[in-house]
């Protein structure tokens, strides 16, 4: 038996579905499988599981999801991050409801054409729901294959992606596509993990190049390091008796279509006595207040959130505005404080609201 055939056979023998029971495994409902895959993109299983359960309960069919208001979808997604996933999820659901009359597409090509569905997700849905012979290639697969076969080609290059995709297709047990794909993903998630993999009791130990050549911690290889951009947000929490003022983000930027307090972004971090002075010099501040009287009640502690390419540092300034405060034509919405939880906010604002819940 050659090395590739050995790898596939041993993996199929190793896999037992009951070892890692999850509600989207061993089902054939393509909608539920798709939902789980989108939620689990860039999200740990433990974090994504309750969101999956909430979505399935509130939107039991893809048509239910398609008919939901976007704000409701975002609110249910709140806290998961990468909100473009929620936006694409909703858009794709509408596509299925209209183009496919509410029936989830049944071919790899049609699944791949849905908004937010890439090669990996399409292969996962096609194989899990319909047992079609399409190999998945995700972070777990890159790690397992690079270690076992000793592949040093960087996984974040065009050449690397092509090489690993070709190898994954060759290894696929075409008549057991769903079982094989789930097996290699589970093996990477639970056994051949990024840190402290269980090499001592590994079924592939004798044939694993990385183990035999002491390269486990060096594989897989990435060629690029993401340089994160620092951004400094100053949120103005405007209070007027029982009301607060929020806005909906509409710019082509992070957190599009989520809600936030009026925001002033500065190109550097400013604190202490110089903060208010710096803010008052901005056009946003002058437009908001137009020399109307305000009272600064306090400044929050620092809140931080790290995104894939950005590091956000935020301060919240609680400001009391007089009844004469004009908010029309400033893209602001006046809401009752007690209704603040009805709106979907970025995580950094949700964290602030959670800490300040006694005040609201």
Q: CA quadruple 180, 181, 182, 186: dihedral positive or negative? A: positive
Pairing of strands 303-306, 310-321: antiparallel
Contact 119, 137 (CB under 8 A): yes
Q: Indicate which residue of 13, 37, 271, 281 is catalytic.
A: 37
User: Which residue has tokens 């309960």?
Assistant: 57
Task: Give the H or E element holding residue 321.
Answer: strand 310-321
Question: What are the residues facing 320 on neighbouring strands?
Answer: 239, 295
Active site residue 37: yes
Contact 360, 337 (CB under 8 A): yes
| Cα angle 104-106-109, degrees, rounded to a multiple of 5 | 110
Three-class secondary structure of residue 69 per DSSP: coil
Pairing of strands 229-240, 310-321: parallel
User: Which residue has tokens 């249910």?
Assistant: 76
Q: So which residues are the catalytic ones?
A: 37
């Amino acid at each position: 038996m050659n090395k590739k055939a050995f790898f596939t056979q041993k993996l199929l023998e190793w896999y037992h579905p009951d070892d890692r029971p999850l509600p989207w495994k061993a089902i054939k409902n393509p909608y539920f499988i798709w939902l789980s895959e989108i939620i689990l993109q860039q999200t740990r299983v433990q974090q994504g599981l309750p969101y999956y359960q909430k979505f399935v309960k509130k939107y039991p069919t893809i048509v239910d999801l398609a008919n939901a208001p976007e704000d409701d979808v975002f609110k249910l997604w709140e806290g998961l991050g990468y909100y473009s996933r929620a936006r694409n999820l909703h858009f794709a659901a509408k596509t299925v409801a209209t183009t496919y009359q509410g029936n989830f597409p049944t071919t790899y090509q049609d699944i791949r054409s849905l908004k937010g569905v890439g090669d990996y997700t399409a292969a996962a849905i096609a194989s899990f729901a319909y047992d079609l012979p399409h190999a998945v290639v995700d972070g777990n697969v890159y790690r397992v294959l690079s270690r076992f076969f000793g592949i040093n080609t960087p996984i974040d290059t065009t050449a690397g992606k092509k090489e690993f995709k070709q190898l994954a297709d060759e290894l696929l047990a075409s008549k057991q596509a769903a079982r094989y794909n789930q097996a290699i993903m589970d093996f990477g998630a639970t056994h051949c993990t990024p840190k402290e993999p269980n090499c001592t009791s590994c079924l592939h130990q004798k044939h694993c190049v990385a183990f035999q050549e002491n390269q486990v911690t060096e594989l897989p290889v990435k060629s690029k390091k993401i340089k994160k951009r620092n951004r400094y947000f100053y949120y103005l929490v405007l209070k007027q008796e029982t009301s607060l003022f929020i806005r909906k983000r509409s710019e082509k930027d992070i957190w599009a279509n989520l809600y936030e307090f009026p925001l002033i972004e500065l190109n550097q971090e400013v604190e202490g006595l110089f903060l208010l002075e710096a803010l008052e010099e901005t056009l946003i501040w002058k437009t908001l207040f137009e020399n109307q009287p305000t009272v600064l009640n306090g400044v929050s502690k620092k809140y931080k959130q790290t995104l894939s390419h950005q590091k956000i540092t935020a301060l919240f300034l609680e400001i009391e505005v007089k009844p004469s405060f004009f908010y029309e034509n400033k893209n602001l919405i006046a809401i009752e404080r007690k209704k603040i939880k009805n709106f979907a906010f970025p995580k950094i604002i949700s964290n602030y609201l959670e800490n300040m819940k006694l005040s609201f």
